[in-house]
Amino acid sequence: MSSELDPKDPELLRALQEDFPVTERPFEEIAERMGWTEEEVISRIRILTDSGVIRKLGAVLNPRKMGYVSVLAALDVPEESLDGTASVINEYSSVTHNYQREGRPNLWFTMTEPDQATLEKHLAEIEENIGLSAIKMPVTKMFKIGVKLDI
């Protein structure tokens, strides 16, 4: 764990990722559990967000339950084109992950859209813009979503 963390941060981070209260004043409830004030909790969350420890606070939705479709796509991108290609892909708000991997293909991303036609349209636009064809692996069953770090 990073030395930048306050000794009480692990308890706060656990509360945020595992047991976030759905109440009128969730930060006040977390504060009561921790023996802090609500202001201390909010202040520490701001510090952890500004430092990049917390990337986002929000719900994890189940797109399939909402009728959305997803794909894992892989590209074999020349090393010198990786940053530019990733930027093109990241222009789509429906891209949830985009990362470089060792070996070939070397750039993988996931995209979730409201319907198959939109998914195919956006994938085709990406392929046209970067001049490469993607290996497309549609999601047929999701086994896990979300990560809970053992802090």
Residue 122 and residue 84 in one domain: yes
Q: What is the pLDDT of residue 60?
A: 79
Residue 72 and residue 127 in one domain: yes
State the Cα–Cα distance between residues 60 and 145, nearest whole angstrom.
8
Residue 92 and residue 45 in one domain: no
Average pLDDT, rounded, for the chain: 91
Residue 16 and residue 76 in one domain: no
State the Cα–Cα distance between residues 107 and 148, nearest whole angstrom.
25
Q: Is the pLDDT of residue 22 over 60?
A: yes
State the Cα–Cα distance between residues 151 and 1, nearest whole angstrom.
8
Q: Is residue 145 assigned to a domain? A: no
CATH code of residue 116: 3.30.70.920
Show the domain range for 101.
Answer: 63-138
User: For the whole model, what pTM was predicted?
Assistant: 0.73
Q: Is residue 102 assigned to a domain? A: yes
Q: Is the pLDDT of residue 79 over 90?
A: yes
Q: Is the pLDDT of residue 1 over 50?
A: no
Q: Domain count of the chain?
A: 2
Q: 3-class secondary structure for 61-130?
A: CCHHHHCCEEEEEEECCCHHHHHHHHHHHHCCCCEEEEEECCCCCCEEEEEEECCHHHHHHHHHHHHHHH
